[in-house]
Structure 1
Amino acid sequence: MAAVTPTPGKLPVDFDLVGGPATEPLAEVPTGTLVIVTATITNVRLFPDSRMCLTVADERGESALVGMLTPIFDAASFRAGRDLGVGDTVTLWGTVARRRPTLVTIDGQSIRAA
């Protein structure tokens, strides 16, 4: 049997509803919702315009793409006292964004070493 490749967007994220806190896969959370997730960085891609894209995954391999400004990430590294990168577990906050109908991401607003 072939291994199943996790699909970005299935990472469970925490968010608040009127009735209280909830946890759902990222792809099922409405656009613009503030979410919180603790996961491990599996990939970092830097862009020349002070932006970056992280891939984060949980222990089951479910993942999400997180776009953020590089200075936000640099500040988290400063607070951690080391350069954060692949293999580090982080907690991040951001809003759900839909880039294409099948691509749900997180617009990262804050991140810290877990």
Structure 2
Amino acid sequence: MQKPYLLALLPAVLGLIAALNAFLAPMGNTGVDGTLGAGLAVIGTVAATLMIGIIAARPLPRAWSVTLGLLALLAALLTAVAGYFLMQTLLAALMAATFALLLVAFFVTDRRVL
């Protein structure tokens, strides 16, 4: 279990909920409910959440971990931009937080120095 990635998983899961809320609009009209852009935002959040979950759950070879991490970074960044253009501020903020926490997780090690 790679603990630094668990912190990035929380805003990703919340972003998935926000994206599903924007796409399905169970609580009223969001203005983008059922659109292709909102559907792509859902796909982006699912992809980022799954990749972060895979990295956090099991130790992977270094090449796989870096590849999945970079793809998760890209998915989080592009989904944040999509949330901004869809005028879904919460989704954009959560995916930007996911992006930032993934950057932090890349540089924080789980190893003990002493």
Task: Tell me the TM-score normalized by structure 2.
Answer: 0.22
Indicate the structure with greater strand content.
Answer: 1
Larger Rg: 2
Choose between structure 1 and 2: higher helix proportion.
2
TM-score (norm 1): 0.22
